[in-house]
Amino acid sequence: MTLVPRDVPDVITEDWHRGRGLRARLRRRREIRELDELAARLGWCWEDTVTGAGLVHHSKTAAGIPHTSAPRVQWVEGGPPLTLVVRMLPGQVADDFRAQAHRLAEGMGVAMVRVSTDRHGWLRVALLARDPLTTPMPLPARPRGTSAAVPVLLGADEYGRPVTIDFSERVHLIVQGRTGSGKSRLSYAILQQLAAAPDAVITGCDPSSVLLRPFTGTRHGALQVLGADPLAHAALLDRLVDEMDARLARIPARCDVLPLGPDAPFLFVVLEEWLALLGLAGSDRKLRDRLSTATRRLAAEGGKVGVRVIMLPQRAEANEVGGGLLRGQFAYRLSLPVDNVDAVRLLHPGVSLPQAEAHIRHGQPGVALYDAPDHVSGRLRTPWMPDYGAYWDAITDLTS
């Protein structure tokens, strides 16, 4: 195994021609020797780590002698970050290593590892001294009048790439997170990006009367209900279902979607604190069913006519999030820190139990697990908003 440095100069330089070639060559040899020693140490550390993480194969030779096969580090790239190029064992896949990423990081003595596919049968394991998502991410300015069909920023992934949601597609969004997880700040960022869109109306239910309150008196406020009156919330959702049905009836012949425009803008149905909203119905089973049925219909049938549901529960629970029928409608799913492993795995079935537990125990505010269409998943840092006052001022300015 060798280490491939990225930024070590070539031995043959102008220094050689100036009589300093010997010193350059000796310096080069010393650097290579030190890098090779580091590579050897990393190799031994890696072997112990993958053994402890259960990523080795145990077998016996024909003579009955026990034998252990381990995925080998073939070479190391000097970075930063230091990156191990690993050849997997037959039958192993990258997800086997991602599921044990927390063990690999602990064993290698780093804050975290980033596992990516190099080529068939090979991995790249980057050793990160610190979590790249610890730095706050500012919310970029979105010009007034930008269409709601322009992708909305949800955050940046571990590589610094933007993660967006394209509402021009027939998609809905669910975000869960306990108090203090950063869910409110993310909600502020999403709505701030949509508030001034000329082809969007932000509607919905807000039992807390906080998230949607800045829209009071604006063109959005007429289709919003704030406060603890469950009948008012149910009436609004019924009204939205009626609007959806009217739009469905207007879909032109030989089309399966309604062209959106001034008479049919995007309808963003924001459901703040969904579980609290259902709780307002108390023991009135009929009222709870009325709320749930309307929401399921909006999510299941509204995509063709510009209806987009944004659900914001503190915790996704199998029964309270409408069961699989409703939950399955949310193509975009984000989990900020919550207090329940089952809630994480409910929205992110591809996340292993150790990963879910790590997110519960060590998750930082503003850092979310996410799943998006085409099997895209990972971690992201949500945009940073100063405080509620800044959000209020932004909405007031954008809707005036």
Return the CATH number at 63.
3.30.980.40
**pLDDT number for residue 12:** 44
Domain ranges, residue 19: 2-128
Residue 75: in which H helix or E strand, if any? strand 72-77
Return the CATH number at 329.
3.40.50.300
Q: Which residue has the higher pLDDT, 317 or 231?
A: 231
pLDDT tens per residue, range 122-131: 999 999 988 8
* Residue among 121, 114, 103, 128 nearest 45 (CA): 103
Asked if pLDDT for residue 390 goes beyond 60, the answer is yes
Does residue 143 share a domain with residue 103? Answer: no
**pLDDT number for residue 7:** 47
Q: Which residue has the higher pLDDT, 326 or 338?
A: 338
State how far the Cα of 25 lies from the Cα of 10, in Å rounded to an integer: 9
Does residue 124 share a domain with residue 141? Answer: no
| 54-67 b/e (C-beta count within 10 Å ≥ 16 → b) | ebeeeeeeeeeeee
Does residue 188 share a domain with residue 218? Answer: yes
Asked if pLDDT for residue 323 goes beyond 70, the answer is no
Binding residues for ATP: 177-184
State how far the Cα of 349 lies from the Cα of 234, in Å rounded to an integer: 31
Mean pLDDT of 291-311: 95
**pLDDT number for residue 308:** 98
Assess whether the previous peptide bond of 354 is cis (omega < 30° from 0).
no
Reading the block at residue 171, the tokens are 């998609």
Mean pLDDT of 349-359: 84
Does residue 181 share a domain with residue 87? Answer: no
Does residue 152 share a domain with residue 98? Answer: no
Residue with tokens 């991995």: 123
Does residue 101 share a domain with residue 186? Answer: no
Distances (CA, A) of 148 to 20, 234, 327: 63, 26, 23
pLDDT tens per residue, range 276-285: 999 999 999 9
**pLDDT number for residue 136:** 83
**pLDDT number for residue 198:** 95
Binding residues: 177-184
State how far the Cα of 159 lies from the Cα of 84, in Å rounded to an integer: 17
Helix, strand, coil % over all residues of the chain, rounded to 5: 40, 25, 40
User: What is the pLDDT confidence band of residue 340, given thresholds at 50, 70 and 90?
Assistant: confident
First-last CA distance in the chain:
64
Asked if pLDDT for residue 10 goes beyond 50, the answer is no
Q: What is the DSSP letter of 219?
A: T
State how far the Cα of 28 lies from the Cα of 34, in Å rounded to an integer: 10
Asked if pLDDT for residue 5 goes beyond 70, the answer is no
Does residue 47 share a domain with residue 173? Answer: no
CB 187, CB 134: distance < 8 Å: no
Question: What's the whole-number average pLDDT of the chain?
Answer: 88
Reading the block at residue 400, the tokens are 């005036």
Does residue 210 share a domain with residue 157? Answer: yes
Does residue 270 share a domain with residue 151? Answer: yes
Number of Cβ within a 10 Å radius of residue 119: 8
The CA-CA-CA angle for residues 85, 90, 92, to 5°, reads 70
**pLDDT number for residue 31:** 65
pLDDT tens per residue, range 40-55: 777 789 999 999 999 9
Does residue 249 share a domain with residue 176? Answer: yes
pTM of the model: 0.82
Does residue 171 share a domain with residue 51? Answer: no
Mean pLDDT of 49-78: 89
The domain tally of the chain equals: 2
Length reported for the chain: 400
Domain boundary among 103, 128, 153: 128
Reading the block at residue 198, the tokens are 């000329």
User: What is the pLDDT confidence band of residue 189, given thresholds at 50, 70 and 90?
Assistant: very high
Domain boundary among 82, 97, 128: 128
Does residue 262 share a domain with residue 239? Answer: yes
Domain boundary among 128, 159, 186: 128
Question: Which of 17-31, 236-250, 255-269 shows the lowest per-residue confidence on average (mean pLDDT)?
Answer: 17-31
